[in-house]
Structure 1
Amino acid sequence: MDHSPTDLSNVRRPIAQAHGLPNAHYTDAAVFEEEKHALLFDTWSGLAVAADVPDIGDAVPLSFLGMPLLLVRDRQGTLRVFQNICRHRGMILVSEPRKIEGAIRCPYHSWCYSTDGKLVSTPHVGGPGQNKHDGIDRALLGLIEVRSHIWMGVVWINVSGTAPAFEDANAELLKRWSEFDKPIFHGGADSCFQLEVNCNWKLAVENYCESYHLPWVHPGLNSYSRLEDHYHIEEKGLFAGQGTHVYRQLKGENGDVFPDFEGLSDTWDTAAEYITAFPNVLLGVHRDHTFAIILEPQGPEKTREHVHLFYTTPDTDDALRQKNAQQWKEVFVEDVFVVEGMQRGRHAVSFDGGRFSPAMDGPTHLFHDWVAGRLNARRQMDQAAE
């Protein structure tokens, strides 16, 4: 396959003339690698949820686009993300979730690290019985930490270390949802699930951004939250999505509902919003709960969706919580055949990226424009460095 850069000029045109991203952006390994850096490593990407490591000493190994990472709650209670490798010979340190009682010990030569990443022990490094050596400066050989930030219960990371501070990069979204800047509580084991989807991760974003498909793909949802009850959310270069004016609270058999967030304005009595924080986190906010879907790209044509539900208190009703999770799962599963169908469609060699409805596809076009803009900027930077 030709690995020269794809032509993105049609993507950045005004929506009425624009085409979608070329097929290679959904099927080609070289383009996937290019996007890995420009779209996911250079920005603030979603990795996990803070609830994965609730207690001091909790450690969870993760893989992010092939990179081995370790999520740790250190002795001070701070959540940290490290590259999950020993600084000696690059051995994987932690291979399964566990509690770190003492230090993080490498299983290869027993080098040990504290939960805040300091190298604290190097047995026999200077010869038998000699645990120090002038050539090994422990102060310089701590675990490699990845920049991280917690917002909406999600652990966001910036692998490259070059993105603006999270609060600056996402200032507009934080301002838009400032009323939800309150403690939220993960619903627990029955409030998270995963979906394995045979599509490129960007198709999941594109589908989530728009409400155009509701009448045909989500007839149940559309029966009360109709197409005409929705509005577009478009912040160029930052985020896109849609909202509804008719959010209907879930009720239990006795008419009970989840407690609301305190101090919300009247808007949220009936409204709800669904936004993709570029690149890979799909967020939903409602008066009584929020959710986050972290898209884990697993190659050009495979994505794992990690779905997590959050509430206003740590002790919500079990049956209602399970009903809510089941209801959302049904909605998200309804989308699978669409994104997988579009993925198969990207193997039609004469497909030109498709077109956008100027009236209905604004949020999706905005995402394509963001992708093309980031890739162009990265290409220019790479050219300048040559």
Structure 2
Amino acid sequence: MTVVDPVLADVQKPTAQARGLPNAHYTDPDKFTEEREALFGSGWAGLAVASDVPEIGDAVPISFLEIPLLLIRGRDGVVRVFQNICRHRGMILVEEPRKIEGAIRCPYHSWCYSTQGQLVATPHVGGPGYNSHKDMDRTTLGLIEVRSHIWRDVVWINLSGSAPAFEDAMAELIARWAEFEQPLYHGGADSRFALTVNGNWKLAIENYCESYHLPWVHPGLNSYSRLEDHYNIEMDGLTSGQGTLVYRQLAGENGAVFPDFTDLTPKWDAGAEYLSVYPNVLLGVHRDHAFVIILRPNGPGQTEEYVHLYYATPDTDTALRERNAEQWKLVFEEDIFVVEGMQRGRRAPGFDGGRFSPAMDGPTHCFHKWAAGRIAEHRATA
């Protein structure tokens, strides 16, 4: 497709000639609003993980791009996503995470919904003492469901409802990690943490994509998994990231390690991969554990990072699990000053989006090309 905007055209040039997205895409509220539709709404984005609602009736309200959503595990055990509003007057239904014991009751006029979203009660809707009305069809007034799909425990949502089926949209990625299509067990309370970063969500994606920064930002990690041990991964229009040929298993004082995922090929004996799945999910796989990071933007200048660690078996050593979480938290915290520093740098009026190393920045440029292409398509159809 021909891009009319010359700035976006520059972003889509070959890596050696391209410039990055301009400052406004990191600082301007209007650009953030545009990206909500262009980058998040039309495809599959990560909202949360199914492990956030492990039991029937568990409900978690989530503000996603300022849209009030409700993640809930219904009485049938199915995890769904609804708009967190009553169909009567648009009142927020659930304010805090809780277990729904009966129905979801609106605090305003007590309209009630099942955990599967059906409208089941409308007190006095036909006048005092009359709980129905001939002109009120409850079957058409259930909660508004957001299209969703669960893969690698991530609850992926398609806000527009028009994206290709998840399995088709993510076919290349699913095939790449086909060996890991086996049960994942969330490590529990000690295997989840959240970080607040005062930077644009795209900078978190860009930083995670590449290994170029390892020697200076992650000296501990780089001491055994060196820059030269890494390789780039680029899947245009889907994901990009990095892999390492030198993954070192964490071992306890008695030499114990986490159980491996089953039937993996020798590639994974000492290898691992880390992918940014556009727009906002970061994934990592290793022989003995995996992780998910969901990025939730709070406007153009702040991002919440929700980190979850998973294992091949439901029962793992508590002390070793805690050490693993602490180790990863340190690594991800080391990235914060970089993302925040680049965000402050986007206030410099002379910065033109920057340049890319042809050898090292291919994964980052892959993300920029995807974003520029989606934005251009959105503008052409708006």
SS, match of residue 127 in structure 1: coil
Once residues 113 and 255 of structure 2 are traced to their aligned partners in structure 1, the CA distance between those partners, rounded to angstroms, is 52
Q: Identify the residue that residue 32 of structure 2 maps to in structure 1.
A: 32
Q: Identify the residue that residue 175 of structure 2 maps to in structure 1.
A: 175
Q: Identify the residue that residue 220 of structure 1 maps to in structure 2.
A: 220
Output one character per residue of 1:356-383: Cα deviation in whole Å (capped at 9) or x when no partner: 000000000000000000001111111x
Q: Which amino acid aligns with 1:127?
A: G
Q: Which amino acid aligns with 1:346?
A: R
Q: Identify the residue that residue 362 of structure 1 maps to in structure 2.
A: 362
Q: Which amino acid aligns with 2:122?
A: T
Output one character per residue of 1:335-361: Cα deviation in whole Å (capped at 9) or x when no partner: 111111111101000101000000000
Q: Identify the residue that residue 113 of structure 2 maps to in structure 1.
A: 113
Q: Identify the residue that residue 250 of structure 2 maps to in structure 1.
A: 250
Once residues 6 and 124 of structure 1 are traced to their aligned partners in structure 2, the CA distance between those partners, rounded to angstroms, is 59
Q: Identify the residue that residue 347 of structure 2 maps to in structure 1.
A: 347
Post-superposition shift, 1:99? 1.1
In structure 2, the gaps of 5 or more residues are: none
SS, match of residue 268 in structure 2: helix
- Return closer, same or farther for 1:6/1:65 CA change in 2, 3 Å cut-off: farther
Q: Identify the residue that residue 80 of structure 2 maps to in structure 1.
A: 80
- Return closer, same or farther for 1:6/1:136 CA change in 2, 3 Å cut-off: farther
Once residues 135 and 90 of structure 2 are traced to their aligned partners in structure 1, the CA distance between those partners, rounded to angstroms, is 18
Once residues 223 and 141 of structure 1 are traced to their aligned partners in structure 2, the CA distance between those partners, rounded to angstroms, is 58
Q: Which amino acid aligns with 1:368?
A: H
Q: Identify the residue that residue 264 of structure 1 maps to in structure 2.
A: 264
Once residues 252 and 355 of structure 1 are traced to their aligned partners in structure 2, the CA distance between those partners, rounded to angstroms, is 43
SS, match of residue 367 in structure 2: helix
Aligned runs of 1:10-25 on 2, under 5 Å?
10-25=10-25
Q: Which amino acid aligns with 1:122?
A: T
Q: Identify the residue that residue 187 of structure 2 maps to in structure 1.
A: 187
- TM-score w.r.t. the length of structure 1 is 0.97
Output one character per residue of 1:51-102: Cα deviation in whole Å (capped at 9) or x when no partner: 1111111111111011111111111100010000000000111111111111
Q: Which amino acid aligns with 2:310?
A: F
| Count of matched residue positions in the alignment of Structure 1 and Structure 2 | 379
RMSD: 1.0
Post-superposition shift, 1:6? 8.2
Output one character per residue of 1:238-266: Cα deviation in whole Å (capped at 9) or x when no partner: 10000000100000010000000011111
Q: Which amino acid aligns with 1:273?
A: E
Once residues 89 and 314 of structure 1 are traced to their aligned partners in structure 2, the CA distance between those partners, rounded to angstroms, is 44
Q: Which amino acid aligns with 2:7?
A: D
Output one character per residue of 1:161-213: Cα deviation in whole Å (capped at 9) or x when no partner: 11111111111000000111111011111111111101000000000000000
- What percentage of aligned pairs have identical amino acids? 72
Aligned runs of 1:1-386 on 2, under 5 Å?
7-382=7-382
Q: Which amino acid aligns with 2:311?
A: Y
SS, match of residue 377 in structure 2: helix
Once residues 22 and 58 of structure 2 are traced to their aligned partners in structure 1, the CA distance between those partners, rounded to angstroms, is 43
Output one character per residue of 1:115-155: Cα deviation in whole Å (capped at 9) or x when no partner: 10000111110011111111111010000000111111111
SS, match of residue 309 in structure 2: strand
Q: Which amino acid aligns with 2:104?
A: I
SS, match of residue 71 in structure 1: strand
Once residues 62 and 84 of structure 2 are traced to their aligned partners in structure 1, the CA distance between those partners, rounded to angstroms, is 8
In structure 1, the gaps of 5 or more residues are: none
Once residues 273 and 45 of structure 2 are traced to their aligned partners in structure 1, the CA distance between those partners, rounded to angstroms, is 20
- TM-score w.r.t. the length of structure 2 is 0.98
Q: Which amino acid aligns with 2:247?
A: Y
Once residues 216 and 92 of structure 1 are traced to their aligned partners in structure 2, the CA distance between those partners, rounded to angstroms, is 46
SS, match of residue 282 in structure 1: strand
SS, match of residue 378 in structure 2: helix
SS, match of residue 207 in structure 1: helix
Q: Which amino acid aligns with 1:84?
A: N
Post-superposition shift, 1:7? 2.8
Once residues 6 and 302 of structure 2 are traced to their aligned partners in structure 1, the CA distance between those partners, rounded to angstroms, is 21
Once residues 203 and 99 of structure 2 are traced to their aligned partners in structure 1, the CA distance between those partners, rounded to angstroms, is 37
Q: Which amino acid aligns with 1:12?
A: Q
Instruction: Decide whether the 8 Å contact of 1:6 with 1:22 is kept in 2.
Output: no
SS, match of residue 376 in structure 1: helix
Q: Which amino acid aligns with 1:310?
A: Y
SS, match of residue 10 in structure 1: helix
SS, match of residue 8 in structure 1: helix
- When structure 1 is superposed on structure 2, of 38-47 and 320-329 the one drifting more is 38-47
List structure 1 segments (4+ residues) > 3 angstroms apart after TM superposition. Answer: none
Once residues 107 and 302 of structure 2 are traced to their aligned partners in structure 1, the CA distance between those partners, rounded to angstroms, is 32
